[in-house]
Structure 1
Amino acid sequence: MMLRSLSSDFLKIRRKGIWFLIFLAPIGLIVMQALNYGLRFDWMMKEHASDPWGGLLENISVFVPIALYLGCTLISSLVANVEHQVSSLKQLLALPISRTAVFSAKFLLCFLLLCVSCVLLSAATVILGVSFGFKPGSIPFPDLARLGFYPLLAVLPLLALQLWLSLAYRNQALPVSLGVTISIISPFTMNLSEWFPLNWPMFGLFGPHREWFVAAGLVVGAVILLIGLVHFNRKDVD
């Protein structure tokens, strides 16, 4: 039942601009680093002479959490707004399909869309590095996989919260404002404890205990998702 709902959701987001955002985020990060290296290539290569691939990944990874926070916010809002715009959510829930399947399918849709964006980022990073003359034989595939997916798994609590709020409120001002605010302040929270939730995506990339922050994201994300699901099941839909 959830897969049928997921298939329907994929059809609904056609021509809604969501796929444009999915491609825009990784391409934007890569273009930014292309300019960064292009303007001071010699200095960057000297700075990271011992590990050029590692230097490139480090420069890209700084902006990944911000991009993910914005991505969770905008994608959740746009997915929910597809239903709110035409008041189709009430009609959907009148069909012989459980609310749990509807909510779960929309969360899975948002997660899969972000996965596509993360895969594109890793692939585009390889293309950028090779175009700079980095050795293809030394491509750090495990680090590229971590770049794409560790921060995403660590940011699942925000994705669950944003989808919950976006479906609960027809007016998207609250969830969007919250997500944008989190994105803006996230670079300034690094001085706080590493266990502060906004720091999880970054510490999921760096440090000796990366898997701990990924696990924390999975657990807390599951809890928030469950709370949102219970609320969605009990809430009257306009």
Structure 2
Amino acid sequence: MKNILRADRLKLKRSSLFTIVLLIPLLILAYELVNITYRSELVEQQVEMFGAGSMWMYLLYDNSLLFGLGFPLAVTLAASVIANIEHQANGWKQTLSMPISRGKIYLSKFVWLAISLFFSTTIFLIGMVLLGKGLAFEGDIPWGLLIGDCYGMLITVLPIMAFQFWLSMTIKNQAFSILIGSVSAIMGLFSAAAQTTRWFPLAYPIQSSTVILQYEGIGNNPDFSAFLVINLILGIILMFIGSKHFAKRNVQ
């Protein structure tokens, strides 16, 4: 398994994977920097109106929509890049001719998808801390909330990761999988806004922040743990199904 992971790492070095996973967190952090710096009066009004206990809480709440929409798009593009290395070079015949099980090949590429997205969320975590300290936010850094927001998102998108990865691996035309991922992210945004559809898996990333706007103001998200458990189980199931399907399918 180590040799497969090493071989995939060499292939990914020549791709745009890490540029993609860096782009989403950096764009969100740049937006927050501009928003807080140049719209400081409006931000202060919103902090008071939303009942945020601190600027840290406001930052977490403000990021939840952008990160919940942007991260599934990063998942879609990253999965496409990893799969397209084989599709573009017509390398499946050579790859699958090696005396290695298809399940391990599939798992190796999924591991690199997870590693790249872990890297993305870590950059986002570090960026939020630096942003808050650089703008002199008052109070202690809420490490628990920040870590929960970043790595909780990684767990919340597991079903999307598993589905988009399977789609990208089995369909050569990557425009199709990217279209499906983009539409799904937008559908998740609208699904999260309605009580009847907010428990659909596509709606989870938008709601996976550790804080949420309630009647009394911004506070802890009571459904956060449920989102993590549901998506962890669902993600593992979809990953297993995708791996089994890939192992049995004739890939050209």
- TM-score, scaled to structure 1: 0.94
Of 142-151 and 204-213, deviating more is 204-213
1:101 aligns with 2:101: no
Unaligned runs of 5+ in 1: none
1:50-199 map, 5 Å: 50-135=53-138, 138-190=140-192, 191=194, 192-199=196-203
Distance in 2, matches of 1:22 and 1:69, equals 11
Identity %: 30
Distance in 2, matches of 1:38 and 1:51, equals 16
Aligned to 2:215: none
- The code of the aligned residue for 2:27 comes to G
Aligned to 2:216: none
Give the deviation of 1:46 after TM superposition.
4.7
1:234 aligns with 2:248: yes
Query: Could you list the per-position Cα deviations for residues 154-211 of structure 1 after superposition, in whole angstroms to 9, with x for gaps in the alignment?
Result: 1111111111111111111221110011122322112143311122223332421311
Give the deviation of 1:217 after TM superposition.
0.8
Distance in 1, matches of 2:148 and 2:201, equals 18
Q: What's the secondary structure of 1:13's corresponding residue?
A: helix
Q: What's the secondary structure of 1:38's corresponding residue?
A: helix
Of 140-149 and 184-193, deviating more is 184-193
Query: Could you list the per-position Cα deviations for residues 58-81 of structure 1 after superposition, in whole angstroms to 9, with x for gaps in the alignment?
Result: 111211111121011100011000
Q: What's the secondary structure of 1:63's corresponding residue?
A: helix
Count of residue pairs brought into register by the alignment: 236
Q: Is the 8 A contact 1:25 1:67 kept in 2?
A: yes
- The code of the aligned residue for 2:76 comes to T
